[in-house]
């Protein structure tokens, strides 16, 4: 296993965990592991690499998640990722979308353990970075421990030492990716059994974990917890994670987070980034707090249009400060 701390990580989420969201999340948490959105190997090789792979060093530690099953392409991509300075490369074996299946990567690869082994082995041989895998506990009508354990052993035989398990199976036909996050039932026990049978592996559990209490419970059975939607909807949950899981009390207040983010927005606007591309990720900052509706309304009215005026960003501190006063009164 690598020296990276994967005790808590934020899941790769399409259209969510872009570089702006990751910068925002890193302002709240110093210790969580962050992941990019899934990037297809073809995009890495043929696309605008700076736009697709570029990141701020402030985001680190940071893993690149790849989608693909072409060994030659994967070999090229891990070399590129290493040159860009990523800390880890993760292979997506869990996305159930039709588009992903059509291109033969994601969850459909659970049906092809030999190919998965070859892909991961090729990746390992072409980089010094840690290579990890993220997968699900089954697919369609297959939710069988022996099948999953044999699949895990195939991954392990490629010298992969860290596996992230989403504790739901993937329904490859008939459900959308969004429905695949809710409809298949969670089966945490199967993940626990995988850890018991493979104690030398670092097993990270993912799926349906939304609270500090839930995190602590999972850490009794596995090595780490990956959280996705709960963080995107309530990013300041990371502050509690810092304090109660990492025992780090030096956490920025919401106001301080926004003060720092404004400096980032100023810098990015000069490079051509639109205000809404950054501020859309902050909608949930006051999730569950008094003043949340005012925050969301201000963002909706002033920050979400493609042509949002940067000058209005500077006024946002007034909204934040008013919200902070409300919290103190209550």
Q: In angstroms, how far is CA 36 from the centroid of its own chain?
A: 6
Q: How far apart are CA 162 and CA 157, in angstroms?
A: 12
* Average pLDDT value for residue range 307-327: 70
Per-residue pLDDT of 157-204, as tens digits, reads 999 999 999 999 999 988 888 898 888 999 999 999 999 999 999 999
Is 95 tagged catalytic? yes
| Start-end of CATH 3.20.20.70 domains in the chain | 8-244
Given a cut of 60, is residue 1 above it in pLDDT? no
Enter the CATH code of domain 8-244. Answer: 3.20.20.70
Average pLDDT over residues 52-68: 98
Write a three-state SS string for 168-195. CCECCCCCCCCHHHCCCCCCHHHHHHHH
How is the beta sheet containing 131-136 ordered, strand by strand? Answer: 8-10, 224-227, 202-206, 162-166, 131-136, 88-93, 62-67, 34-40
- pLDDT for 26 equals 98
Percent residues over pLDDT 90 in the chain: 79
- Residue 326, pLDDT score: 60
Residues of the chain with CATH 1.20.120.1460: 254-329
Q: Residue 238: which of 25, 5, 15, 21 has the closest Cα? A: 25
pLDDT of the residue at 325: 63
Tell me what pLDDT residue 81 has.
98
CATH number of 254-329: 1.20.120.1460
Out of 77, 95, 108, 119, pick the active-site residue.
95
Q: Residue 296 is encoded by which pair of tokens?
A: 């969301």
| pTM for this model (two decimals) | 0.94
């Amino acid at each position: 296993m690598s020296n990276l701390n994967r005790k808590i990580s934020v899941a790769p989420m399409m259209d969510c965990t872009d570089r702006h969201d990751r910068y925002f999340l890193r302002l709240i948490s110093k210790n969580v592991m962050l992941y990019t959105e899934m990037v297809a190997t073809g995009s890495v090789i043929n696309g605008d690499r700076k736009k697709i792979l570029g990141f701020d060093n402030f985001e680190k530690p940071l893993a690149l998640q790849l989608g693909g099953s072409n060994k030659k392409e994967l070999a090229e991509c891990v070399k590129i990722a290493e040159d860009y300075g990523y800390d880890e490369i993760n292979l997506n074996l869990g996305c159930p979308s039709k588009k992903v299946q059509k291109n033969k990567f994601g969850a459909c690869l659970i049906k092809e353990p030999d190919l998965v082994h070859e892909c991961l082995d090729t990746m390992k041989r072409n980089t010094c970075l840690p290579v990890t895998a993220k997968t699900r506990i089954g697919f369609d009508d297959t939710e069988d421990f022996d099948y999953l354990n044999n699949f895990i052993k195939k991954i392990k035989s490629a010298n992969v030492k860290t596996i992230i398990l989403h504790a739901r199976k993937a329904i490859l036909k008939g459900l959308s990716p969004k429905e695949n996050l809710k409809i298949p039932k969670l089966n945490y026990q199967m993940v626990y059994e995988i850890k018991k049978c493979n104690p030398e592996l670092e097993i990270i559990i993912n799926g349906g974990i939304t609270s500090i209490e839930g995190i602590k419970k999972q850490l009794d059975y596995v090595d780490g917890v990956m959280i996705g939607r709960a963080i995107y909807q309530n990013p300041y949950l990371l502050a509690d994670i810092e304090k109660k899981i990492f025992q780090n009390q030096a956490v920025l207040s919401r106001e301080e987070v926004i003060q720092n983010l404004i400096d980032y927005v100023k810098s990015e606007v000069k490079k051509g980034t639109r205000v809404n591309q950054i501020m859309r990720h902050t909608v949930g900052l006051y999730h569950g707090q008094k003043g949340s509706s005012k925050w969301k309304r201000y963002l909706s009215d002033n920050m979400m249009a493609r042509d949002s005026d940067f000058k209005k960003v500077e006024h946002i501190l007034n909204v934040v400060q008013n919200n902070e006063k409300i919290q103190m009164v209550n």
